[in-house]
Every structure is written in structure tokens, then in C-alpha cells.
Structure 1
């Protein structure tokens, strides 16, 4: 964080000529397939191993109880059915005699069924046994629900903590990314990744993981029980599974590109909205509302098309599986009825099997319904991992150095820098800025003025040569150490949501109230603040609403005053204030510059006449160097710039 300036140079905005090409940026390692991204997510979840074991154990217990309950319920059905049939048979005889009597009457099918039943002729329903059986079933279902709730609750904690950790990693990563990454990225798309995509991933994980594991285990458990009851009926039940798997895989493969396009379109739309809202006044001034609306409509339509296709294709999974499940149900009902009639199975076993078949289809249906959520979540995860995998700026040295005495001398030794391989910007630049001197940097747009100060701040690292601060190579210093010695005020004022006092105190959190007010007085903030109803406690939003553009700039200058940096960088810092205020600021800065080095980037040459050294840059080279009078006398590039600004006044003279 830069003392007295905007954090990390964020206020520099997108680079124009001399600030870096928009196409330059880090090479991202993108996850292009479902498997690797899902594996990374599972690895993160397994960091909470004990909780995940609890989740899996609870799900296994819940599934086992759900698998056992229908079999027990089938026994209750057998008790009732056996009682009904037994009551219709003559009392006082054995079951064998009853079966033989049925065969003697030619009722062989009924005799086969009775022979397979556990009954006593003449005895009706044993309601005590039925009640005990139903109680056991109720306990199984209640315990299964409790375990399912436990699994969901614990998993929810794991997911929330995982997302919280991801969010913290992204926040830390953002501060480690080089400035060129932001130059190459749309701000709205970046915000969409760290907000919308994270929220979507969180919801996807919460809604799919427990259900997915539960569904898979349920399929396995039910398959085992069904084979135990009847291998033939189990075979009929699983015939549809390969068809369901193939259908799901085909549909998922076709829907994934649309989910990726959906979230990519979301990011682009957010970027366009953020840009339009930020430049709302400019859009109005140039009458470009229709163009902005057309661009919005075009991107909104792309988002609609990708979202509609993704949801439509993935939505075909559930109806397909339900259709196959219904065919399966009909086949089991027919074959099961024949098996009961032949005495191969009891009615309770067929009832249990039918219930199992419905339960067997349900998890497959749930898996199908979760495909769209999983695809959407993984698509968001890929966009998040792109940020986490982005190339970071060069780290601080293991054994950092620091100037023994802070004097503020800056030395450029044969410095070269380029944003792109084919676009050299600064070549073999050498310069010495003496302590306490004011160094003004002037030149046409794209000459490399802002790039020069960005190199001082190490927002970018030089390609060759070196920059020394009080004799120490800035690359051998930590960035925090370098930037704590530097204050920076940019052309675009940056304020955060808070009071005017807090915005000034941001330059030095340890400063006393008296020091904050003194900085405000020196920067001429005190005068206009006292005219506000709430004074220094006036609350500003992050756009500085409530004060004018010039007043916002004065607040940022006061912030820099409070930091008392060894090096002061002003990048067109007075461009938003009126001429009278500008003169007052220059007078105040004369005191601030004592024993400090100042770099001033200016287009209005009237503001830097008293500079100790004026550097004229063209195409990344210093073409002239000297004070105001010397450069005018040389009648070179500076003289041409000066005459272009003051031609009218010179003609009058």
C-alpha cells in the first residue's frame, strides 16, 4: 500500500500510451476440463478430513437404514397378508394339509403360493407383531433423517469454510498480482469472478456434494439388497442404468460449453455495466446512450442464449431418467406379480422390491438433476482458479536491504523497459534526482512519464539497468519498505467510503488528530471542510460524493502531506483544482519538499517553472534536462512545448 496515495497504484486506471498496452498481461493456466477442477475442489474439501469423515459416515448410516427399512416393511406386509389368507383356511389343520386340500380341488397356483407363506390355518393377523415391525421401520426412517441432517449440517460448515478460505486466497492473490494483470483485465469481469463465481460455487457445492454422495451410496446399497431378494428382478432393475449413464454423459458433455459461456458472458456483461455506470456522465455528454444500450442488449442476449441453452440441455437429464425409471417400474411389477403367483417370492418381498426400484431410480434422477448445478459450479471454479494460477509479481528478496539514511536520492542507471517484446518504451535512461530537489517530468502523451514513476514505485520492474534509492537497488528492498518511503498523488483522486478525517488519516494511521488537522491546513482542505455541516466527520462514499473534484484532490494531497514521505510523486495532481488553489498548493509544497525529493508529472508548464530540474521525455528518452530558464534558452523540445501552451500570451508581449 502506498503511503499518501492510492493503494498499489490502482488509481492509475487502464494504461494509455506510455502506460502499457492493454493486450499485455500474465499467461493464465486455465482448467479446461471437469476432472482437474473437480479434483482441486475435492482436495480443498478434504483439508477438513475429520469433518468429511463424519459426513461420509453419517451418509453411509443414513443410506443403510433407508435400504433396510423397506425390507422390514415388507415383512409387515407379509404378516398382514399371511393373516388374511390363514384366516380363510380351515382351523385345526396343518399348513401341509391345507395345501394338499387346495391341490385336491385343482387350485394348484393358490396351493403353491400358500406353501411359500408362513401362516397357520384358521389364525388371523398378528397385530402385535405388525405393530412391533412398524415401530422398527419408523425408528429406521427417523434415524436415517437425523443422520442425513447431521451430514448436511457438517458439510455446510466445511463448504462455507472452504469458500471463506478461497475468498481469502483470492484477496491475498490480488495483492500479489502485478499491475500489468489489471491493465489487461476488465474490472467488471474480475469483480464477477471474486463475487458471482464464488457465490455460485458455494451454492453448487452445498446443494450437490451431500446429495451426490448420498445418491451414489444409495444406488450401491439398494443394488445389493435387490440382488439378495431376487437376482432376476435386480437384473431387470439395472438394465436401465447404463442407458441412464450414457444419456447423462452425452447431455452433460453438450451442456458444459454453454455453462462456461454463461459465466464468461456474465463477466463481460458486468464489465460493460461497470464501465457504463462509472462513465455515466461522459456517456451522456457525448450522447452515446444508444450505443451503450445496444452493447448491453447484445451482451445480454449472448448471456440469455448461453444460459437458456445450458439449462435446456441439462434439463433433459431428469425427464430422460424418469422415463427410463417408469419403464423399469412396469417391468418389475409384471414379473414380480408372476413370481408371487408361482410362490417364488412373497407379496412383501415384491412390495419391498418395487419400493427399492423406485428408490433406485430416484438417486439416478437426483444425479441427473445435479448435473447442471455441478457443471455451473465447476465452470465458476475454473474462472476462480484462473486468478489463483495467474503469474505473480516477483517476490521480495530473501535478504532485503534498506538505506542506512533516508535522504531521497533517486538514481537511474541505464534503465530500459518495455511493456511488450516488440514495443520498447524506455531505453538506456540515466538520471539523478538529488535530495530535496523538485524534478518535473514533461513531454507529449506516450513519452513514458507515468511509466517512469511506476518504475520508481516498482509497480513494474525494469528489464535492464537499475534504480537506486539512497544507493540501494530498489529490487533489493521489500516493496513495503520502498513504498513506505514514498507518497503518491494521482490525477484520478481515490477516496474510500468514510469520513473526510479518516480519508486524510489513511496516510499515517499513527498520526495524532493535531497532525491530521495540520496536514489539512497545509493542503488548504481545512478551509472548505469547516463550511460543511459535519466538518471533518462528513461521510463520503467511495466516489467522493458531496465534495467537488478539486476538493477530492485536495483531500488526497492532504493524505500525502500527512505521510511525510522521503519521495513525493505527483502525477498531474493539481489538474482538478482551480488556478488560485493550485498556487496555494505550490506554496504549501515548498515547505513539504524540504529534504525530500519530488517528482512532478505535469502538462501545464506554468506549474513547474520553479522546479530544480525539468526533464523532457520523448519516446522513452530524456531529450533535454535543465531548469526553466536554461531549457527556454536552448530553444529545443521544452521551448516548443512552452510556446504551444503560451503562444497567445507571448504574441501579446
Structure 2
């Protein structure tokens, strides 16, 4: 509605502008007829003031409508991205997503608000001006349109070319953003590898492509105004020459020539703005196409009103589950079956690539199995609402995924309404209470990107405390002790033992020493379950488990 109101205000302003030459023509006629100038001057002044007021209101309405549009687009895109399927999101480069969310949405605002409104108002101004010029002198208008028509054809061709080049420029800009984010996410590796110069040159190459295509967009856009200016200058020259000749012979009144020339002057800016707006609209269309592609990302099936499904039995069970990642023909898991009781510690071990983390992703239903069934409390997770599944499971990733913000914000991320007592209990169980109390600002201490400001072990324990604050029925620990020193590992082992007395804990073991007291250990190898048992049983019955244990003993 605001966009429509702004467009109507622009049209009314254009009408006030179109009436001005007529008012000035009346002033000339009043002078020639020796009549009073009071009414014509008053009318002209009223038109000038009205035009200015409507122009200001038009600009405000269109500007506000544009901001509303970009807000709505970003809101919808954010919601769809956060609800997208993990497999679908993994196919997108983060730099490309960022560019579409920030830059392309800004261009969409120009397209859907400013450019569109300008096309309507400028088009009204051009059509209205031509109609009034035809009313004043059709012959003079025919000559004018001949000159302007040639310039308009050239401008339209340029506008179409601008859109094609703008699409290429958006792609090059996205490539640059992706390359930049790739490096920013691995700054330590870049520095340690002394790759600063190589990466600078690589990223500069993408920036150079974006600059070249951007220059082409600017060059083509810059040609629009001169093309129209040439047409209007030729038209003005012809109108002055032929019009003055007709005035001299008495075929045309001086007041009509003055009004006609004013309309021609008034036509220049709207014509230029019309074709520039068409070019902007074409660029915006390219951005809208890219936004539409992102908005079409495949969504998780979510039904917030779905009733919880009754569960009972084992906490987790895999029944002949097979799974391959999209685009890969090699199965990560092949007919895997095992059960996890509703209490106690279950550990999953195996060499790299055995499918340990994939098991967790299937439990969380980030992915669905290609065949077989994942059961939560005896119920197929495929039939359960996502909110119910993830509300019962706490997940501590190997990469802890802390965010910029305070320690409190990171800690309460999954449980924003947690009480101070619950927070204190979670910190105590994660053996992080003394660390937080030693900080000058305690829980309000600001952390940088990815939890910068804490040590690796402290970050991991904070992620564990965040999970404990959810009070989950099942806790997934993906190599949670990987960044802990021996003292912190001992403390965390005690924490895991305490937690496993009240719920099911499934831990991917980076260190065999952390799971020697596990109730059961599942050994994965080449996508299948190789063996299951306790630490004591497996050290005497399974060669792979023995090798993993010996390797870590030697490494220690």
C-alpha cells in the first residue's frame, strides 16, 4: 500500500509539473493582452509549491516502502535458510549466500521500489508531456518524436544489455565473497602456511573479474544519458529553428512556442530517468532471480502444531541403516544395526571415515537414511515432529560452534529462559564455574568470533554446559574431549559418568581413555558395526580396537 501511495503521489507531482508550462503560457498571454498577472502568477506559484511538496512526500513514501520490502525479503530468506535441509544448504557456498542476502536484497529494493515507481512516474510525465505538446502543435511534435524516437531505441537496447552484464557482475561478486569467506574462516592455517601472498593474489583475481564486469555495467549505464541527451538536443535545435520561423510568419503564437519548448525541456529529465530506471530495473531483476534461487532452497518438514509421538523402549536404535551423502555413490553406513539403552554411556569408536559423525547426523535427522530405520524411544524418527526429536537431544559438536556475544548468551542459546540456579548447575557439571568466576565480567564477558577469548578446552566445556542446560534425554558428544588437557579430561569424564546415570549419553571417542568405563562400546569400520562390548571385552576380542588403544597409548 505504501508503494502504491508513493506512486500515486509521484503521478500527482508529475501532473503539477505538467501544468506549469500552461500557467506560464497564460502569463505570456496576459502580458500580451494587457491583463492582470495576479491570477496567473498565483497559479504558477501554487503549482511550484505543490510540486515540491508532492516530490518530498513521494520520495519519503518510496524510500520507506523500499526499506519495508528489503526487510520482508531478508526476513523470509533468513527463515528459509535456517529451516533448510542440511544437504541442500551444504551445496551453497557461504560467500554466495552472504552476497545474495546482503547485496542482492539491496538491489531488489531499488528494482521493486525506486526503479518501478520512477518508471511509472517518469512514464506518466513523458506521456502527459507528449499529449500536451500534441495539443499545442502536432506538426512540431512529430518532428520532436522522430528525433527522440531514435535515441529511445538506442537506450532500450542499452538497457537490455545492462541486465545481461549485471547478471555476470553479480556472479563475479558472489565468487569474490565465497573466496574471501573461505580464507577468513582459516586465517591461522593461512598464516602458518605462509600463504598470505598466494591467497591475496587468488582473491584479487576474483575481485578483478568483479571489477571488470562492474566497469562494463557502469559503461553501458553511462551511455544511457548521452544517448537521450543527443536526441533531446537535436529535437530542441529543430523546435527552436522551425518554431521561431512559424512564429515569425504568424502560424504559431509566441505563448504556444514558449509552452512547447518548456515541455521539451521538461521531457529531457523524465526521459533520461525513465531509461535509467529501466536499466536499474533490469539490474534488480537479475538480483531478484538470484534471490528467488536462494528462496527455493529445500526445506525441512516442520509442523509446529504436530502432537508429540509416544515413545518407549531403547533411547536410540539403528535397524539396518544405510546412508550415502548426496552426490556420492560410496555408502558411509551399510546396513548398520545397534541399540542404545535409555541410560548409561555408549561410546562409538573407529578409524577416520568409519561413519561416526554420520550416525549423529542421522539421529538428529539432519539427514534421512537411504534405507533402514532410525528409532528414538522405539519410534521411527521419520514419523516424529522435528521439534520433538531435537527437543530430546543435546548435541555437542566436535567443532563447538560458539558465537560472537557474551558467555551468558552462548550458554543459554538453547534454553533462553534458564534460571540462575540452572546456569550455575550446568557450569558446575562442566567444571567451568571457577573459570567464569575468575573473569572480570563473569557471564557477561564478551567473546569474539567462534568463542575467541577462551581456550580450546574452555570453549568445549562451555558447549557442553550449554547442552546440559537443555536437560536432554539423550546427549551426543562428538569427540567432546578432543581439545581438553588431562586435568580437564578427568573432570569431564566424571561429568559424563554423572550425566549417564540419568540419561543416555552417546560419545564419539577421540581418546580411548575417556570411555574405558563405558557401558558399551560400538566399533565402526568401513561403514559397518565391527564389534560391540565393554573396554575389557574388546581389548581381548577385537583386533581393530586393540590397535586403536595401542596407538593412543604410544601417542600419550
In the alignment, what sits opposite 1:79? 30
| Deviation readout 1:8-56 (Å, 9 max, x if unpaired) | xxxxxxxxxxxxxxxxxxxxxxxxxxxxxxxxxxxxxxxx3xx444334
1:325 aligns with 2:232: yes
After TM superposition, list the pairs within 5 Å mapping 1:266-277 onto structure 2. Answer: 266-277=173-184
Which deviates more from structure 2 when the two are superposed, residues 535-544 or residues 289-298? 535-544
Which of 171, 188, 194 is residue 281 of structure 1 equivalent to?
Answer: 188
Which deviates more from structure 2 when the two are superposed, residues 618-627 or residues 167-176? 618-627
Which of 315, 320, 325 is residue 409 of structure 1 equivalent to?
Answer: 315
2:8, 2:108 → 1: CA distance? 24
1:329, 1:559 → 2: CA distance? 74
> Against the structure 1 CA distance between its residues 504 and 390, is the aligned structure 2 distance closer, same or farther, given a 3 Å change threshold?
closer
**CA-CA distance at 1:205 after TM superposition:** 4.4
In the alignment, what sits opposite 2:21? 70
**CA-CA distance at 1:647 after TM superposition:** 4.6
Larger of the two Rg values belongs to structure: 1
**Does the CA-based 8 Å contact 1:251-1:314 persist in structure 2?**
yes
Which of 401, 419, 429 is residue 325 of structure 2 equivalent to?
Answer: 419
2:148, 2:297 → 1: CA distance? 41
> Against the structure 1 CA distance between its residues 511 and 401, is the aligned structure 2 distance closer, same or farther, given a 3 Å change threshold?
closer
2:235, 2:310 → 1: CA distance? 80
**Does the CA-based 8 Å contact 1:624-1:637 persist in structure 2?**
no
**CA-CA distance at 1:147 after TM superposition:** 2.3
**Does the CA-based 8 Å contact 2:304-2:387 persist in structure 1?**
no
**CA-CA distance at 1:263 after TM superposition:** 2.0
1:134, 1:397 → 2: CA distance? 67
**Does the CA-based 8 Å contact 2:496-2:505 persist in structure 1?**
no
1:52, 1:379 → 2: CA distance? 21
Which deviates more from structure 2 when the two are superposed, residues 162-171 or residues 71-80? 71-80
**Does the CA-based 8 Å contact 2:311-2:379 persist in structure 1?**
no
Which deviates more from structure 2 when the two are superposed, residues 600-609 or residues 566-575? 600-609
| Deviation readout 1:132-172 (Å, 9 max, x if unpaired) | 21221121222122223223322333222222211111121
In the alignment, what sits opposite 1:578? 485
In the alignment, what sits opposite 1:569? 476
With the length of structure 1 as denominator, give the TM-score of the two structures. Answer: 0.81
1:149, 1:241 → 2: CA distance? 29
1:507, 1:354 → 2: CA distance? 69
Which of 514, 517, 532 is residue 607 of structure 1 equivalent to?
Answer: 514
1:429, 1:60 → 2: CA distance? 69
**CA-CA distance at 1:514 after TM superposition:** 1.8
**Does the CA-based 8 Å contact 1:454-1:460 persist in structure 2?**
yes
After TM superposition, list the pairs within 5 Å mapping 1:136-535 onto structure 2. Answer: 136-396=43-303, 400-404=307-311, 409-420=315-326, 422-535=329-442
2:53, 2:84 → 1: CA distance? 46
1:201, 1:52 → 2: CA distance? 14
Q: Which runs of 4+ in 1 moved over 6 A?
A: none
Secondary structure of the structure 1 residue equivalent to 2:124: helix
**Does the CA-based 8 Å contact 1:396-1:476 persist in structure 2?**
no
| Deviation readout 1:166-201 (Å, 9 max, x if unpaired) | 111112111221112332222222122212222233
**Does the CA-based 8 Å contact 2:13-2:54 persist in structure 1?**
yes
| Deviation readout 1:64-119 (Å, 9 max, x if unpaired) | 22222202212222333x3xxxxxxxxxxxxxxxxxxxxxxxxxxxxxxxxxxxx5
1:603, 1:495 → 2: CA distance? 20
After TM superposition, list the pairs within 5 Å mapping 1:603-642 onto structure 2. Answer: 603-642=510-549
1:459, 1:534 → 2: CA distance? 36
**Does the CA-based 8 Å contact 2:402-2:451 persist in structure 1?**
yes
**Does the CA-based 8 Å contact 2:499-2:505 persist in structure 1?**
no
1:168, 1:494 → 2: CA distance? 23
> Against the structure 1 CA distance between its residues 367 and 334, is the aligned structure 2 distance closer, same or farther, given a 3 Å change threshold?
same
Secondary structure of the structure 2 residue equivalent to 1:458: coil
**Does the CA-based 8 Å contact 1:403-1:471 persist in structure 2?**
no
| Runs of at least 5 residues in structure 1 that lack an aligned partner in the other structure | 1-47, 83-118, 120-124
> Against the structure 1 CA distance between its residues 536 and 408, is the aligned structure 2 distance closer, same or farther, given a 3 Å change threshold?
farther
| Deviation readout 1:568-587 (Å, 9 max, x if unpaired) | 00111111111121111001
1:605, 1:541 → 2: CA distance? 32
2:182, 2:43 → 1: CA distance? 64
**Does the CA-based 8 Å contact 1:240-1:328 persist in structure 2?**
yes
**CA-CA distance at 1:507 after TM superposition:** 4.1
2:56, 2:515 → 1: CA distance? 71
**CA-CA distance at 1:616 after TM superposition:** 1.8
Secondary structure of the structure 1 residue equivalent to 2:484: coil
Which deviates more from structure 2 when the two are superposed, residues 457-466 or residues 226-235? 457-466
Secondary structure of the structure 1 residue equivalent to 2:54: helix
Larger relative CO (CA 8 A, sep 6+): 1 or 2? 1
RMSD: 2.1
Query: How many matched pairs?
Result: 555
Which of 440, 447, 464 is residue 540 of structure 1 equivalent to?
Answer: 447
> Against the structure 1 CA distance between its residues 509 and 245, is the aligned structure 2 distance closer, same or farther, given a 3 Å change threshold?
same
2:510, 2:466 → 1: CA distance? 23
2:324, 2:394 → 1: CA distance? 25
1:185, 1:451 → 2: CA distance? 20
**CA-CA distance at 1:268 after TM superposition:** 2.1
